[in-house]
Amino acid sequence: MIPEGSPVGGFSGIFVEGKVKERNMISDKIKSSLPDSDSDCGVVVMGAGLSGLSTGYVLSKNDMSVCLLESSSTVGGLSKTIVHGDFLFDLGGHRFLTKNKDVENFVRDLLADECLTVSRTSKIFMFNKYFDYPLRPANAIFGLGISTTLKILFDYCREKFINIFRKPRMVSLEDWIVGQFGRKMFDIYFKGYSEKVWGIPCQNISKEWIAKRIDGLSLWAAVKNAFFKVSGREIPTLTDEFIYPPTGIGRISDRLKEEIEKKDQVRTNTSVTQIKHNNFQITDVIAKNGKAVYSITGKEFVSSIPLTNLIQSMQPPPPDDILEAASKLRFRDIIIVTIMLNKESVTNLTWLYLPDDNIPFGRIHEPKNWSSQMAPEGKTHLVIEYFCFEGDAVWNSSDIELTDLTVQYLEKLDFINDNEVLDSCVLRKKKAYPLFSVGYTNHYDKIVDYLNKFSNLHIIGRGGMFKYYNMDHAMESGIEVAEEILNGHSN
């Protein structure tokens, strides 16, 4: 079992290279070239990813004046869709699914007829073989061999038996998975991919993110699902279908922006550099647009920018222990390499996971399998995810090196020939995943306790709250804060 839509968080700006265009860039450019000046905004929302946009949308619909400040040239944050010539792609395929009916209806109403239901077919490539994801018994038994399967089941039973007599250590990701699935299953299915995604040993990854993320999922539940096909709603990580807009996930953000701009402002290319406060009240923020620097006042301030950046931007600076705690929270970064191909199709998969150490990237998706509108007729593209830390060898590789490396491995995997390559695009995304190392909660709780003292500051979203949020959770957090503000306002 491998977590889908794996590790994430806030980030700043996206590189615009060659023919890459972010959606709405042209109209955004015109808007952001309007003179910006000191202003009062009612509610100031920092960051226009899905969480900030959801806050802005709900407030604007309820006639409360709101202003969104976004450092990038377009909205959507991690959930945006890139336009590269005639090709469209997300920053790693983003499927929308939720257990929250209200959030589902919110998205369906927003997208109206721009809403596809896509079937999910994912595989894991390891030991030079393809395995179904979620695991299916026949595939697992014949793929791994009966003796390995028996070892998995034996390990699982042994773990459960031992746990009757001793309370298992439950600190790290490794403890949690071995406790739930047994050691053999951990070694085969979890270790390689998790360490590739997070960049640290599983013993140092806090159990908290996965316990929440695959809540209710145990080997028993996975096996039961494989045999009896329980409804995916009961186990969200195993769901077979998801919602997807025909022109990419960024359409959700674009629609939110369109609605907000009927009455209020979304200021792109506008970076919040200082958050000023006095007596545990935010007074104003300093924003920068090109060379223009201006102050924006408001009654309420909502932040979806990475939690660590929020702390570092506060003026006067928070106490030393809070700054110290913020310096201990880390994010994982991502590089997306997209290869455009002169061929009809490569796979029939939604995602392909590659836990193997010998392959430098972790996941592939082919956008055309999500919506036919993502690539021009007769052509396709593959989007490859490299998990890394800013400043490491992968991050510092040049675009050409990364493209060559990717093509070389796609050839080895028998997916492409290099004479089929039409074009490529490399995008680096900082702070894509909050990194939950063992003990991070000590630092996190300290920061949140401090921020809770502010009467008019609200934190939302994945990087903003330093939580392993998917799109639906990010939107939910934004909607909840908007409702809180509206309720406070009407009292």
Give CA separation, 391 vs 6, 17, 333, 346, 357, in Å: 21, 20, 10, 32, 20
* Token reading at 33: 């070239």
Q: Would you count residue 406 as binding ligand FAD (CB under 6 A)?
A: no
Sign of the dihedral through C-alpha 172, 174, 178, 181: positive
Determine which residue in the list 70, 174, 208, 264 makes contact with ligand FAD, applying CB under 6 A. 70
* Nearest residue to 14 (alpha-carbon basis) of 313, 370, 269, 294: 269
Calpha distance 144→124 (Å, rounded): 13
Of positions 23, 94, 184, 196, contacts ligand FAD by CB under 6 A: 94
How far is the C-alpha of 233 from the C-alpha of 59, rounded, in Å? 30
Strand 66-69 to strand 314-315: parallel, antiparallel, or no bridges (unpaired)? unpaired
Closer residue to ligand FAD in complex, CB, 219/311: 311
3-class DSSP assignment, residue 250: helix
Looking at the Cβ atoms of 72 and 265, the one nearer to ligand FAD is: 72
Q: How far is the CB of 372 from ligand FAD (least distance, A)?
A: 19
Q: To the nearest whole angstrom, how small is the minimum distance from the Cβ of residue 72 to ligand FAD?
A: 4
Helices (H), 341-466: 393-396, 399-412, 440-451, 462-465
Q: Which is nearer to ligand FAD, 152 or 388 (CB)?
A: 388
Return the residues of window 248-267 that contact ligand FAD according to CB under 6 A.
none
HSE, CB side, 13 Å, CA atoms: give it for residue 158: 11
Query: Which residue, 305 or 339, is less far from ligand FAD as judged by CB?
Result: 305
* Region near ligand FAD per CB under 6 A, out of 25-33, 41-49, 120-128, 318-326: 41-49
Q: Is 181 in the site for ligand FAD (CB under 6 A)?
A: no
CB-based contact 470:5 (threshold 8 Å): yes
Using alpha carbons, select from 115, 390, 410, 69 the residue that is nearest to residue 242: 115
Stretch in the footprint of ligand FAD (CB under 6 A) among 17-25, 63-71, 186-194, 415-423: 63-71
- Which phi and psi angles does 42 have, rounded to 5°? 75, -90
Closest separation between CB of residue 310 and ligand FAD, Å? 8
Q: At 7, is the secondary structure helix, strand, or coil?
A: coil
Beta bridge partners of 340: 381, 423
Q: Tell which one of 77, 182, 236, 434 touches ligand FAD (CB under 6 A).
A: 77
Place of tokens 């060659």: 18
CA 330 to chain centre: 15
Choices 64-72, 118-126, 135-143, 256-264 (CB under 6 A): range interacting with ligand FAD: 64-72
Among 432, 457, 481, 482, binds ligand FAD (CB under 6 A): 432
Nearer to ligand FAD, 246 or 376 (CB): 246
In whole angstroms, how close is the CB of 164 to ligand FAD at the nearest point?
Answer: 37
Residues 112-141 that bind ligand FAD (CB under 6 A): none
Pick the piece of the chain touching ligand FAD (CB under 6 A) from 19-27, 182-190, 314-322, 459-467. 459-467
Which residues are within 8 A (CB) of 370 and not within 5 positions of it... i.e. 6 or more apart?
93, 95, 118, 244, 350
Q: Is 410 in the site for ligand FAD (CB under 6 A)?
A: no
Is residue 111 close enough to count as binding ligand FAD by CB under 6 A? no
- In order of 228, 330, 417, the CA distances from 182 in angstroms are 22, 29, 40
Residues 279-318 that bind ligand FAD (CB under 6 A): 304-305, 309
Does residue number 49 form part of the binding site for ligand FAD (CB under 6 A)? Answer: yes
Query: How many whole angstroms from its chain centre is CA 382?
Result: 19
Q: Identify the CA nearest to 185 among candidates 230, 227, 217, 212.
A: 217
Compute the least distance from the CB of residue 351 to ligand FAD, in Å: 9
237 in contact with ligand FAD (CB under 6 A): no
463 binds ligand FAD (CB under 6 A): yes
The footprint of ligand FAD (CB under 6 A) covers: 5, 8, 10-12, 46-52, 69-72, 77-79, 91-92, 94-96, 271-272, 304-305, 309, 334, 385, 432, 461-464, 469-472, 474
